[in-house]
Amino acid sequence: MKVLADHEIKAAIARRELVLDAVSEGCIGACYELRMGSVYYDLTDGERRIEVPSGGDVLIKPGHRVVLITRERLVLSASMFARIISKGSLFSIGLSPVATYADPGFEGRIGIVTQNISEKYIVLPALEPIAKADFTLLETPAERPYRGQHGFETEIWPIKHQFQKTLDELAGDRRLSAATPLIAPGSHGQSGLSLADLSAQQLDADRRHGFPVDLPNGAGRRDQLLREIVGLVGEVGEFANLLKKVDLAATHHQYSGPDLDAATPELRLELADAQIYLLRLAHFLRIDLTEAVLEKVRANEGRYGHLGHQ
C-alpha cells in the first residue's frame, strides 16, 4: 500500500480523480484539506437541514451535534480509500468530531459528524477547511467496493434510533437496580432532554436575553457565582415560605392558606427557578452537574447502602 503525497493528490485532481470541486492549495503534505460546503444538519434540532448561502456560515450552538457536508466530492477507485480526520484548530475551540472513512469505490461528499462541547457558539464560514483526507492506494482492487454516497447528501441517512431508549422503555431491566443511578450521563427523560441539553437551552436563552453567560476570567466568574447563589437562596426561600403556608393551613384551621395540591403548581415553578440557578452555578464553575450528582449518588451508596439490607 502507498499513501499519496501532496503533488500526487494535485496531479490526480488535475485528471479529475480523487477530489472534485477542489482547489490546488488544499493539497498539503500528505493530505487534502476538505472545506465546509453549502449545507449542514443539526442533529440536536430534529436533524434539521440548514442551507448555507454564498458567503454565509454555519452556526453550531453549545452542546449541539451537527453533520457538516463538505464542499468537495470524493471519487475513489476500487483501489483507493481515504481516511478523514479533524483539523486540530477546530478541536481547540471545542468541536469534537468523529473520524470517518471513505471506502474504495465511494463517490460523493463527506459528512462529518461533530459536536460543540464548548460553552460558546461556533461560527464556521463557508469554504473553511474542516477536515483532512489522506489517500491510500491498495496493492490490489477491493473485491466489494462501496457503491453510493454519504447518506445525508441523499437525505437517507440511516440513524439507528432503535438503539436509543427512554427509562420507560427500559422499565423492568434488572441492570437498572435500586443501587444503579436511574439517569446516566447523556440519557434523556420523558421530555427528550438530558441535563446537558437543558443547560445548553437555558444558557442559549440567557444569551438572547442579555444575561451574563460567557465570562472568561476568574474574577468575573467569581463575582457572578456570588450573584447566582443569592438568587438560588431567594428561590429556595420562596419555596419554603409557600410550603410553610401549606403547613399552617393544614395544622391551624383558622389560617387561610392553600393545601398542598393547590400550591403544587407554584411550588413546581419555584423549583424550576432554583434548578435554573443550579445550572448557571455549574456553568460558571465549569463542572458537569450530571456527573457530579452521579458521583454523589455513588458515594452515598457506599455510605448508606447497608441500611437497605438490615
Q: Is the pLDDT of residue 149 over 70?
A: no
Q: Is the pLDDT of residue 165 over 90?
A: no
Handedness of CA 169, 175, 178, 181 (dihedral sign): negative
C-alpha 87/C-alpha 22 separation (Å) is 18
pLDDT of residue 27: 96
pLDDT-wise least confident of 163-177, 182-196, 237-251, 282-296: 182-196
pLDDT of residue 180: 40
308: closest CA among 178, 203, 206, 212?
A: 178
- Residue 104 CA, chain-centre distance (Å), reads 31
> In whole numbers, what is the pLDDT of the chain averaged over residues?
85
CA distances from 108 to 65, 105, 152 (A): 22, 10, 11
Q: Which three cell numbers stand for residue 63?
A: 452542546
Instruction: Give the pLDDT band (50/70/90) at residue 177.
Output: low
Higher pLDDT, 308 or 116: 116
pLDDT of residue 157: 57
Instruction: Give the pLDDT band (50/70/90) at residue 192.
Output: low
Instruction: Give the pLDDT band (50/70/90) at residue 304.
Output: confident
**What is the per-residue pLDDT across 123-133, written as a single tens digit (0 to 9) for each?**
999 999 999 99
> Is 2-159 a CATH 3.10.20.30 domain?
no
- The domain spans of the chain are 2-159, 162-309
C-alpha 56/C-alpha 39 separation (Å) is 10
- Average the pLDDT over 174-202 and give the result: 61
Residue 132's contacts (CB-CB under 8 Å, 6 or more residues apart) are 31, 32, 33, 34, 84, 85, 86, 87
Residue 159 DSSP code: -
**What is the per-residue pLDDT across 5-50, written as a single tens digit (0 to 9) for each?**
999 999 999 999 999 999 999 999 999 999 999 999 998 887 889 9
Residue 114: beta bridge partners?
Answer: 66, 97
Q: Is the pLDDT of residue 191 over 60?
A: no
68: closest CA among 100, 21, 93?
A: 100
**Number of Cβ atoms within 10 Å of the Cβ of 169:** 9
Residue 4 DSSP code: P
Handedness of CA 192, 197, 199, 204 (dihedral sign): negative
pLDDT of residue 182: 39
Return the ∠ at Cα 72 (arms to 113 and 62), rounded to 5°: 30
- Average the pLDDT over 85-100 and give the result: 86
